[in-house]
Chains A and B, each alone.
Chain A
Amino acid sequence: MAKNEVAVVGVGLSKHVSKRRDVNIAELVWEAVSACYEDAGLKPKDVDAFATGNMPAFEGVNLPEEWGAGHWGAYNKPLLRITTGGTTGGSVAHGGYYLVGSGLFDTVMCIAFEKQSDGNSTMGLNTVALADAAAQLQLGVDPGFIASFGGGAVGVAVYQASSYMKSSGCTTHHLDKVSALCRNNAALNPYSHLKQPGLTPEEVAKTTLLQYPIRFGHVCPATDGACAMLFTTGEKARKLTDKPAYVLSCASASDEAALVGISGSGTTNVDPCEQESCKIAAARAYEIAGIKDPRNEIDLAEPYSPFAHQLLMFYERLLLCDEGEAPSILDSGSMNLDGELPVCPSGGVISTNAIGASAMERVAECALQIMGKCGERQVKKDVHKAVAHGWGGAVNLNVVAVLSDTPRR
């Protein structure tokens, strides 16, 4: 049980588009940070510590806060840099939770960002596997041969998608529906990247097939963007706002990574859609939060889903239904903005993916929905408890946070 109750009192997001050529990294981040200060009614002097992170290979800058943090009010303050790849934003939010929860700090500014247009995204992604590719060349393996196993343009996601589809009964039509749902939600979100109001599943089904079962319309864009959140103690939060969003718990878990990346071989983690670590993290997060029946107690979910099938797959792995049930829940309309358990009201990662920021934006959306600050995309039902998720690494890292409108008892 945390020493301090932890609450979110402010959220700030930058404009999210594919190329922000009008600002540099520090300025892009400042858009989010300044909006966050404004949202919370706080000033840099009120902040006791900072947590920050991104995926540094994408911009080609090592420890970007070294020269950028002056822009954010962090000089002469404690600052913790947390980077975990695709889960970075979620991990930074977890950092905020622990820094406040420990009792060492009262108010913590959490910042996550990515300015992918500064670098070369393919190069950024290649550096994930570059060392392994070098090893494979050492083994005399033909790179073309490896590529043929790798799943082409969308990588391991195709294995995961078809594996998930086979085990759940999810069809390609469900994938189209997920994309349409998210892109329509994104159209209502001023901070989303791909807005496609009125997009229908039929239109998604007509986009280019990348590799079965994944089409162009099932895949996230590359985005420039930043997200900032202010975490503080429950006591301070109640003085600042009538409706803070409490962070009840955070948990993460990791699966085994594949051996030197050879076709995903050499791992005891034999099924890419199993995501055991997501279930472990979710179960632990619910346990700490005192949630016994997540299916009925959780009002809203923001699973991290850069690919359409992952929204359904992680809905299941977050223990919100039985395995294989998510496609029919999607069909029932329950995941819509006016549904029983709205999913990705923000539009999700499939609509906006500023990589390092994405997993924090899941937490931010949960907080904003609880605080009732979502404008047009505010879900119909009252949100008491929400779950935010992040996924990354070599298909092996998962982070989960549970937020609520009431503090932990």
Chain B
Amino acid sequence: MDKEVAIIAYAQLPYEADNNMSREVMVLKATRAAIEAAGLKREDLDTVITANNDYNDGRTISNMRLVEPAGSWHKNESKVEMDGTFGVLYALTRILSGDHDIALVVGESQASVYGGILPGIMMLDPTFDRQRWLLNEVSAAALQASAYMAAAGVSAEQIAAVAAKNLDNAALNPFALRSLKGADAKKVLASRPLYSPITELMTAPRCDGACAVVMASAKAAAKVEKPVWIKGVGFSHDSYVTERSLDSMGSLKLAADACYRQAGIEDPASQIDLAEVHECFAHEELMAYEALGFCEPLQGGVFFDSGATRLDGKLPVNASGGALGANAEYATGLARIIEAAMQIRGDAGRHQVKGVKTAVAHGQTGICAQENIVYVLGGE
């Protein structure tokens, strides 16, 4: 894909534990900010995709009351019940098909409304796993972490150091909910233990938040300053959590391979300037390094230790703090796209990395990153 569809504007609301507004008003604020940033009016939108989940929202057909707040009144609207990054994929196909020129994608959820653990539990196989009450998103991730540690020889300290890096970066991101300036592995390991080896500071904090992006066809993006082009996309659905090996991210690799083919990326480690990864748990970032081809398989820990993914490294990952900084589910991956686009535009403020021309953004849905999507974004 070369200069066919661009991200022309975006907006995030500050992520908060309880943002003291209804879901509808939250979505309206994100929508309006994104449309204004694009210099457009509601009337200019052709299609609107919301990304949210009925269980998180506690409402069946949860998109139906977002018609007005998401600007989709009398517009071609749909809902993707996956992370907002998949909403971007749907909007992308709607534009590429030629039927639409300008699309808005909004991702949202409010942890203060849904509590936390229930939507994840409801994802389990209802006939067996759900009845046993052993698995949930965190315990499953702990199994994933242990399997990966054994396979790749990674230590809990290394995983904690990934969390420390992201929480330190998050201190520079005004939207982040959780940050720890100068954090180190020791502090992360000393935080509240959940399921070993996972501690609280290794998990992405569920919170309230919404973010939105405006996308445009080449024609509609012609007059836009600093469009960020979608150069490639790939996505894949992995096996159910108990039916796959948890020591690598197979579907992320499939997604990345497809994406790089489209974007003409042959050597991601040298051709990618920056990556924003949707790491629900710190160890998933190490696994993502491998699946995204930044290093060889099982070399995630070694690659991290090299310092390459630090803010001043040669391939900074999660300069924004990533999902560990804020995790408004269904908006979290979409925020990765926004952060990557900000870096390409040079609009990232205090966590800006110099000279970002090509960036990777990753989103996921499901237990242990069952569904993954990867984008390569680039500037002019």
Any A–B CB pair closer than 8 Å: yes
Measured CB to CB, the residues of A under 8 A from B are: 1-3, 24, 50, 53, 55-57, 59-63, 65-67, 69-70, 74-86, 91, 94-95, 97-99, 101-104, 118, 124-125, 127-128, 130-131, 249-257, 276-277, 280-281, 284, 288, 392-394, 396-397
For the complex, give the distance between the alpha carbons of A104 and B96 in Å.
9
Knowing A62-B122, A63-B123, A67-B124, the reply to whether A99 touches B74 (Cβ < 8 A) is: no
B318 an interface residue at 8 Å Cβ cutoff? no
**Nearest CB in chain B: distance from A63 CB, A:** 5
Are A83 and B64 neighbours in the complex by a CB distance under 8 Å? no
Interface residues on B, range: 35 or more
**Beta-carbon contact of B80 and A397 below 8 Å:** no
Task: Please judge, given known A-B contacts A3-B98, A76-B251, whether A128 and B93 are in contact too, CB under 8 Å.
Answer: no
> A257–B65 contact, CB under 8 A?
yes
User: Known: A70-B240, A95-B90, A124-B60. Contact between A63 and B77, CB under 8 A?
Assistant: no
Q: Nearest CB to that of B52 among chain A residues?
A: A83
CB contact under 8 A between A252 and B93, given known A56-B54, A66-B367 = no
For the complex, give the distance between the alpha carbons of A53 and B80 in Å.
9
Known: A79-B235, A102-B95. 19 other contacts (CB 8 A): A2-B99, A55-B60, A62-B123, A63-B81, A67-B123, A69-B237, A76-B236, A76-B251, A80-B89, A80-B235, A82-B78, A82-B79, A91-B78, A97-B97, A98-B99, A99-B93, A254-B64, A254-B67, A288-B99
Measured in the bound complex, the distance between the Cα atoms of B79 and A86 in whole Å is 12
B interface residues (Cβ-Cβ under 8 A, vs A):
53-55, 58-61, 63-65, 67-68, 72-82, 86, 89-90, 92-99, 119-120, 122-127, 129, 233-241, 243, 250-251, 254-255, 258, 365-367, 370-371
Q: Interface SS of chain A: helix, strand, loop or mixed?
A: mixed
The answer to whether residues A60 and B237 also contact, given A66-B370, A255-B73, A393-B64 and a CB cut-off of 8 A, is: no
Q: How far is the CB of A80 from chain B (nearest CB, A)?
A: 6
Closest chain B residue, CB of each to CB of A26: B125
- Cβ contact within 8 Å between A63 and B237: no
Of listed B75, B125, B129, B254, residue having the most chain A CB within 10 A: B125
Tell me the nearest residue of chain A to B234, going by C-beta.
A78
| A residues less than 8 Å from B86 (CB atoms) | 80-81
Known: A98-B93, A102-B93, A254-B75. A60 touches B122 (CB 8 A): yes
Q: A1-B98, A84-B79 are in contact. Are A76 and B64 (CB under 8 A)?
A: no
Q: Report whether over half of chain B's contact residues are helix, strand or loop; otherwise say mixed.
A: mixed
Q: How far is the CB of B355 from chain A (nearest CB, A)?
A: 30
A6 to B227, CA, bound (A): 30
Those 7 A-B pairs whose CB atoms lie nearest each other, nearest first: A85-B61, A393-B64, A101-B97, A102-B96, A62-B122, A102-B93, A79-B237
Of A24, A276, A392, which contacts B61 at CB under 8 A? A392
Given contacts A69-B237, A253-B76, A397-B77, contact A128 B59 (CB under 8 A): yes
Residues on A with beta carbons closer than 8 Å to the beta carbon of B236: 76-79
Task: Report how far A127 CA is from B58 CA in the complex, Å.
Answer: 7
Whether A85 lies near B60 (C-beta < 8 A) is yes
Q: How far is the CB of A396 from chain B (nearest CB, A)?
A: 6
Return chain A residues, CB-CB under 8 Å to B241: 66
Sample 22 A-B pairs with CB under 8 A, ordered by A number.
Answer: A3-B96, A61-B122, A67-B129, A69-B237, A75-B237, A79-B237, A80-B86, A82-B79, A85-B61, A91-B79, A98-B90, A98-B99, A101-B93, A101-B99, A102-B96, A104-B92, A118-B126, A128-B60, A256-B68, A393-B61, A393-B67, A397-B67
Residues on B with beta carbons closer than 8 Å to the beta carbon of A60: 122, 126
Given contacts A78-B237, A101-B99, A102-B93, contact A84 B54 (CB under 8 A): no
Q: Are A94 and B81 in contact (CB under 8 A)?
A: no
B285 to chain A, nearest CB (A): 22
Minimum CB–CB distance from A271 to chain B (whole Å) comes to 15
Cα A124 to Cα B73 in complex, Å, equals 26
What chain B residues lie within 8 Å of A394 (beta carbons)?
61, 64-65
Decide: A255 near B74, CB < 8 A? Known: A55-B60, A56-B54, A81-B81: yes
Instruction: Name the residue among A63, A79, A396 with the largest chain B CB count within 10 angstroms.
Output: A63
Do residues A75 and B238 form an inter-chain contact, with CB atoms below 8 A?
yes
B239→A24 contact, CB < 8 A:
no
Known: A81-B80, A85-B60. A104 touches B93 (CB 8 A): yes
> Which residues does chain B contribute within 8 Å of A56, judged by CB atoms?
54-55, 60, 81, 122
Q: In the complex the two chains form, what is the Cα distance from A80 to B236 in whole Å?
A: 9
